[in-house]
Chains A and B, each alone.
Chain A
Amino acid sequence: MATAARTSTGGGGAVPSAGKIFQFKLVLLGEAAVGKSSLVLRFVKGHFHDYQESTIGAAFLTQTVCLDETTVKFEIWDTAGQERYHSLAPMYYRGAQAAIIVYDITNHESFNKAKAWVRELQRQANPNIVISLAGNKADLANKRMVEYEEAQSYAEEQGLLFMETSAKTAMNVNDIFLAIAKKLPKTDPAGSRNPGQTVNVNTAAQNVEAKSSCCGGSTGATPANAAPTRT
């Protein structure tokens, strides 16, 4: 356990390092059953399940997006269902640099909820947070209750990134994460904090465990659909 664990995590944002890897915390928000977890699972794993149970057990996932000269690693948090009783803990969006607010295009109420989440983030979250709005279930356009134009003009008004997505068909899923990755400021926040003194006790344990389990269960997991690598 003598391994010195020194990483810059928490609210600090980008990690300046040799390969220019920037790590960001991204949170998902939106009414229950709009497809938050499905979007993430599609993005991270390339899976989709029609009858995805409500989220149990998934604390967070990570996924990496390569931009021109930088690599953006998203640490993606799911609500764990705490939104159902309006009891999402503020620690959830504390320190988040990006948020995807999801609504279901076949459910107008979920769009109203999305607007409420935008207000909540604008009030409570980090002022520089990059917020994007995702109108999910775009594959069900025949049941559409929220017009594209309505959502788009709202997003423009509020300065949000906006896309309609489908976790089922994968439409725009990678794209919305990529758009966020592009918009996130890749600045070095080291001036505001001395990274040498931030301790992540988890990393200490991982370093130790890594000796036996190497890269972990997802070794070689570079799924075909994984992070879009584009110019």
Chain B
Amino acid sequence: MEELPKEFETVVLGTGLPESIVAAAASRLDKSILQLDQNTFYGRDWAGFRLKELREYLSTLIQNKFDAVGRAVDENLLKDGEVAVPIRPSHCPITNFEEKIYVKDDVSETDIAPQSRQERYRRSRHFSGSSVASSGTSSTQGDESRTPTTPEAPPVPPRKQFSFDDVLAESKKFSLDLAPKLFWSNDKFVDLLTTSNVSRYASFRLVNSVATTVEGRITSVPFSQSAIFQYEGLSPSDKRKLVKFMTMCMDPGKMQEQMQAASQMKLGAYLDKLQLPNTLRKSLVNAVAMCTDQTSVPEALKRIRRFLQACGRYGANTSPFLFPVFGSGEYPQYFARVSAIFGGIQCLSRTVDHAVVSTSSNKVTAVISNHERIACENLVLPTEYVPDEWKSSNHPSKARILSRAILITDHSIFPRVKNDNGEKQACDSGFMRIAREDGDELGVLLVEASHTADICPADYRVVYLWMNAKSSARADLEPYVERLLEPFQHDRDGMPKVLWACYHNYERWTWAETTEQPSAAGDAGRSAAAGKIPANVRVVSGPSGSIDLEDVLEESKAVFEKMYPGLPFLPRIPGPDEIVLDTSDSPSLDQSGNKESENIENV
């Protein structure tokens, strides 16, 4: 391997999403960037894995990684007035990993010893009719609801039998994310992907079902205003009330009086007045506004507006969400690639062992990595790498713990959806939000996707669930898993089955930047400020529980702007045609927006 250069403008520790975005943005402006990661893979806590790799990572992570003792300081690499501060993760953010295999390792044994395992996947089950409509989960939307015996249901071949070995044999086809995310069709992150041309790597699947649960039943949520009005059981007076309500959502300026009156109200109380049918009301609160009855009316209206504005962007009545093909774990890699394209250097399996801090300026002047001194002007690192001596009471880092589950299932839990031709088909990716009884704002979020997003083989689905933790991930989420998927003690037809589940908690620390920003002059004169983070160190967080990536974008942008104030953040990347080295016969740099070279278009 080539030796690393000895000097960079910015050293970025970690290849998680915010680190990679910052690296890309800085490289884009020709800043020299070194991005290191102690892992052998890109993405840190945002990574995507194949099935085998995920199991291996999660099961070895917890015991191995965090008892490593730091390297001894290479004193000869330090100059006068410098100290070396060890940089290593203080804790492992992933805890409570538990795995549950619901299929027998070897199917043929099932018949021989049927009692040996409680959570066995039942074999002789035949699946008839639609994949989701069954006693427990049928959709409530009129003709959407079917029973498995619906006459027109085509004969369905016997349910495919799985053994866990079958699943493992296809390990390579899985792309399982530690931090699954969706994109709003019109969100700022998608805008960034487009304007920075990162989107040329990315493609998306439209999420074609949005749902919630109402009294334990999975209920499709209408995407558009018109679909909401077509809701069954709406009386003319309901509709009038809804019109008002929707106008308030979409155009609050028009309805100032009403807004005034409602501004102090909670959404629940407000909806009580409207007296909408219960299912519609629950759909609005749980899945459209993604809030609770306790949310204030103005906030709820903002959220509903956001949802509705994101609908229909890719065709009539399309949902507001996009699911990333190959999963969210690709995104750190996309941005790292942008960094590389503009000269950034990525180096995996390598970390920063020490930060070299000048005691007079309290700035990091270099890092020591693998006994090499690498000078830098900025250091970016994830929260858990911040050494204790840089933490102070002024920097109250806050932890929020998420419970996460990753499941492999055999059928969609979502109601069947109509395709462009009006035919019913299995949902290929779906989003569901389930309200929590304790009124937690986040609720329980569920994202399901299929092979159409290239995240699993054709016979499977991947389901992600997450929520703010109350206790261990399994204790928190298993009840939901058992409610939505086949309870293995029973043998009901038509219910999707869970084949494999894994649970873990994720502890997310955010670094609260102090408000006291030392002035430039004060900065220079400042003596070694114990308990202060060096002025040129920037801290980034791990993935939050939010459904989208807008918070990451905000954080990355803020970090970038602190390092490079006034400089443009990820401006459009020119197409290769615009930067070809030979100027004699190639077009000059064209700002008008051609994207890539297309040499022959006409066939």
Contact = CB atoms under 8 A, between A and B. Distances in A.
Interface of A: 1-2, 4-6, 9-11, 19, 21, 32, 41, 44-45, 47, 49, 52-53, 55-64, 66, 71, 80-82, 84-87, 89-92, 94-95, 124, 192-194, 196-202, 204-206, 209, 212-213, 215-218, 221-223, 226-227
Given A56-B343, A66-B600, 17 more contacts: A49-B582, A59-B337, A60-B576, A61-B596, A64-B601, A84-B2, A84-B345, A92-B333, A94-B326, A95-B454, A192-B451, A194-B425, A197-B205, A199-B185, A206-B595, A215-B598, A221-B597
Per DSSP, are chain B's interface residues mostly helix, strand or loop, or mixed? loop
16 contacts: A10-B325, A55-B341, A59-B573, A82-B337, A84-B345, A85-B1, A86-B349, A87-B347, A90-B333, A91-B337, A94-B326, A192-B451, A199-B185, A199-B204, A201-B199, A215-B594
A218 B315 contact: no
Contacts of B206: 197-199
A199 B330 contact: no
B564 interface: no
Contacts of B325: 10-11, 198
Interface string B394-430: 0000000000000000000000000110000100100
Interface string B571-589: 0011111111110001100
Interface in B114-141: none
A11 B454 contact: yes
Contacts, number: 215
A193 B203 contact: no
A61 B202 CA distance: 16
B587 A64 contact: no
B599 A221 contact: yes
A21 B602 CA distance: 11
A82 to B, nearest CB: 5
A5 B598 CA distance: 19
A19 B600 CA distance: 13
B590 interface: yes
Contacts of B197: 59, 202
Contacts of A82: 336-337, 340, 346
Nearest to A41: B580
A89 B580 CA distance: 24
B597 A44 contact: yes
A84 B35 CA distance: 13
A201 B193 contact: yes
B387 to A, nearest CB: 25
A87 B348 contact: yes
Most interface-central of B1, B194, B452, B597 (chain A CB within 10 A): B597
A85 B369 CA distance: 14
B205 A199 contact: yes
Contacts of B185: 199
B42 interface: yes
B4 interface: yes
B594 A218 contact: yes
B593 interface: yes
Contact of B337 (A64, A80, A196, A199): A80
A201 B190 contact: yes
A199 B603 CA distance: 25
Contact of B577 (A6, A85, A218): A218
Contacts of B595: 202, 206, 209, 216
A44 to B, nearest CB: 6
B2 A85 contact: yes
B204 A201 contact: yes
A181 B342 CA distance: 30
A201 B599 contact: no
B314 interface: yes
Most interface-central of B340, B343, B587 (chain A CB within 10 A): B340
Nearest to A56: B343
Given A87-B348, A91-B334, A57 B42 contact: no
B458 interface: yes
Contact of A91 (B333, B425, B573): B333
Contact of A216 (B190, B345, B577, B586): B577
Interface in B40-95: 41-42
Contact of A56 (B172, B199, B341): B341
A91 B330 contact: yes
B574 A57 contact: yes
A140 B597 CA distance: 30
A190 B581 CA distance: 39
A227 B602 CA distance: 12
Given A57-B574, A59-B341, A193-B452, A89 B204 contact: no
A61 B194 contact: no
B341 A45 contact: no
A221 B574 CA distance: 18
B200 A60 contact: yes
A30 to B, nearest CB: 15
Contacts of A200: 199, 202-204
B519 interface: no
Interface string B311-353: 0011100000010011000100110111011110111110000
Contacts of A199: 185, 203-206, 314, 322
Contacts of A227: 599-600
A194 B453 CA distance: 10
A59 B576 contact: yes
A81 B579 CA distance: 17
A89 B346 CA distance: 9
Contact of B580 (A45, A55, A204): A45
Contacts of A2: 313
B208 interface: yes
Contacts of B208: 197
Given A80-B341, A205-B194, A216-B577, A11 B598 contact: no
Contact of A217 (B193, B454, B587): B587
Contacts of B579: 57-58
B419 A201 contact: no
B201 interface: yes
The 10 closest A-B pairs by CB, nearest first: A216-B594, A89-B333, A202-B199, A80-B340, A217-B587, A91-B333, A10-B203, A209-B593, A85-B347, A64-B600
Nearest to B339: A80
